[in-house]
Chain A
Amino acid sequence: DGGITQSPKYLFRKEGQNVTLSCEQNLNHDAMYWYRQDPGQGLRLIYYSQIVNDFQKGDIAEGYSVSREKKESFPLTVTSAQKNPTAFYLCASSSSGGNTIYFGEGSWLTVV
C-alpha cells in the first residue's frame, strides 16, 4: 500500500538523550515535512525538504535536526537541546508542484 510510515509510534526519552524518529514514504513525493503538535494545539512546522540533500528550517527548528539522503526518507532527530520535546510528531509529504500535504500516523514522544 502507498503511504507514509512513521516509527516508532510511541517513544520515551530520558532527559539529555537524542532520539530519532523515522519517516518513510513510497508515494514518490519530492517534498517532505515534519510538524509538531502539542495537546489541543495546531501543527507547527519544524523542518521541510523539497529535494534530496536539501532542507530548510521551519518555524520551530531549534533543538531539532534532519537529513534527506534518500527521496523516500526524512528522519527527524530530537536533540537534548530541545527544552520541551514531549509532543506528537507528524511527518508529511507532497508531490512536486503539488499543494496538498499528506500525513503519516504520527509518533508520540514523551520525556521521562
Chain B
Amino acid sequence: GENVGLHLPTLSVQEGDNSIINCAYSNSASDYFIWYKQESGKGPQFIIDIRSNMDKRQGQRVTVLLNKTVKHLSLQIAATQPGDSAVYFCAEKDAGGTSYGKLTFGQGTILTVHP
C-alpha cells in the first residue's frame, strides 16, 4: 500500500550546524505534507506544512522542501540547538481522501544535537 517513510532513522549533529531530515513518500495523490517534532514522552508538535502546489516553504529556522518529481520531502533546520533534539515525523494527506485531516505518518527520524 501507499506509505510515507524516512531515509535515515537517526541523525547526529553538532550544535550550530544545519540539519536536514529526509522523507520519501509513495502516494502521488498526496497534496499536503506536515512535519511534526516529538519530544520524549510528549505528543507531536506541528512544525511546518506545505501544499503540493509549492516546492518550498520557510518558517522560523526551518525550511521544508518538496520535490514531487521524485516524491521527496525534506526538513531543514538552521543553526541546530540542543533543544531541537527530538523525533521528527513527516505526514501526508491523500487529496482523494474523504476524511479531512486524516494523515499517514512516517516512522520518524531521531535527531540528536551535541553541545
Contact = CB atoms under 8 A, between A and B. Distances in A.
A90 B43 contact: yes
Given A42-B89, A42-B108, A43-B89, A103 B101 contact: no
The DSSP consensus for interface residues of chain A is strand
Contacts of B89: 42-43
Contacts of A92: 43
Contacts of B32: 99
B84 to A, nearest CB: 18
Interface string A89-108: 01010101111111111101
Contacts of B42: 105-106
Given A42-B89, A42-B105, A104 B43 contact: yes
B34 interface: yes
A64 interface: no
Interface residues of A, number: 28
Interface of B: 32, 34, 36, 41-46, 49, 89, 91, 93, 99-103, 105-108
5 interchain residue pairs of minimum CB distance:
A94-B101, A103-B43, A42-B107, A43-B105, A42-B105
Interface of A: 4, 6, 31, 33, 35, 41-45, 48, 50, 56, 90, 92, 94, 96-106, 108
